[in-house]
Each structure stands twice: as structure tokens, then as C-alpha cells.
Amino acid sequence: MAGEARFTPSEQDAVDAGREGFRRFLRQLAQWQALLWLGSVLGLVGLALALSRTDSLSWLLWICFYSLLGLAFFLALVVLAHLVTQARTARQLFRQDKGVHVEHVFRWTDEGLAFRSGTGEGRIAWDDLYRWSEGSRVFLFWTTERLSIYLPRRSLDAVLTEDLRNTLTRFGPAHF
């Protein structure tokens, strides 16, 4: 079935899309591999230093425990800092881009997604999408691993939400 949604983007929509994108980013194993390698290397260096300076196994275990605790705290701090700065950055970029402050119309059919606003229009066949994801406040249509187009859920009623989800499941790419 074909569906249509109309909305004028808000700062909150931009923030919601950015947060949902970051959540999807964090769920990818590849994003964590670099951090795990870094943590492993630093842990091995710390272990070598600790072994060279102590003969006590219990002291070594405490060093390892506090090292892992410090790494976990550091990772949590990085994620939290990004979430805080992402919201501020999304709001700032939204205010700067006057072209998005107009009504947008999204249409979907079995063939793909079409969108139009006062600044232009486009169409993406379902086969050309990389992935799609559904958050609590937005649908994201990913054209690459890092680039997405958002559709706020506030612009959809329950019937349209279900129709879009069903269309994406049947014809769209893999769900992110």
C-alpha cells in the first residue's frame, strides 16, 4: 500500500534522529573492536609494568581490576559526552540550515521512498537503501553506514506507521 506523511522538521526531530543514529552506531560490532584493541594493548602494557614492579599476585589482581574499572568509566564518559554534545550540535546545525524549516512530504510505495520539500525532491528505490531502522521517535532510512534520512514518527498515525513498517519489511533492505 502507498502511504504519505507530511511534517515540518523541528530541532527536536534533528536531535532524535542524531541520537537514534548514535544508538545504531554503538550497536555495530566494528565500532567496539577498535576500542577493545586499544583497551587490550593498554591492559597488556599495564600488566607488564605491574609484573615488573611486584611479586604479589593479589596486588596484580587489584591493578587489573582498577584498570578495567577505569576503562569502563572512560568508555561511559566518552558515550555520555557524545550524547550531550550531539544534541547541542544537532540543534545548532538545524538552526543554521534554513532550507529544512519547510514542510517535507514523504511517500512510500512498493517501489521505494519519495520525498519533497521546498528545497528539492528525490526518490530512493528500496534496493538502493543500505538499511533502515525504527526508533521510538523516528524512522531512519540509511543510504550508507553513516548517512541517513529521517522521518519523525509524530508525522505518522498508527495505521501509517504499521504500513511503513510492513512495506519496509517486505521490500526494503535489512533492518539495522
The answer as to whether 116 is a domain residue is yes
The answer as to whether 176 is a domain residue is no
The answer as to whether 141 is a domain residue is yes
Domain boundary among 76, 96, 116: 96
Domain boundary among 63, 96, 129: 96
132 by Cβ neighbours in 10 Å (0-12 / 13-18 / 19+) ranks as buried
153 and 139 part of one domain: yes
The answer as to whether 36 is a domain residue is yes
4-13, 72-81, 91-100, 130-139: range with lowest mean pLDDT: 72-81
CA of residue 41 relative to chain centroid, distance:
28
117 and 61 part of one domain: no
The answer as to whether 158 is a domain residue is yes
Expressed as residue numbers, the domain containing 125 is 3-10+100-171
Q: In what order do the strands lie in the sheet with 148-152?
A: 131-134, 138-142, 148-152
Domain boundary among 40, 63, 96: 96
70: which 3 cell numbers?
577505569
Q: What is the pTM of this model?
A: 0.76
107 and 163 part of one domain: yes
CATH of the domain at 130: 2.30.29.30
138 and 85 part of one domain: no
- Number of folded domains that form the chain: 2
pLDDT winner (highest mean) among 4-8, 86-90, 146-150: 4-8
The answer as to whether 163 is a domain residue is yes
- Banded model confidence at residue 54, pLDDT cuts 50, 70, 90: low
Q: Please provide the average confidence, as pLDDT, over all residues in the chain.
A: 87
106 against 22, higher pLDDT = 106
The answer as to whether 40 is a domain residue is yes
Q: Are 4 and 161 in contact (CB under 8 A)?
A: no
Going by C-alpha positions, the residue among 72, 71, 75, 51 that lies closest to residue 61 is 51
Given a cut of 90, is residue 7 above it in pLDDT?
Answer: yes
The answer as to whether 59 is a domain residue is yes
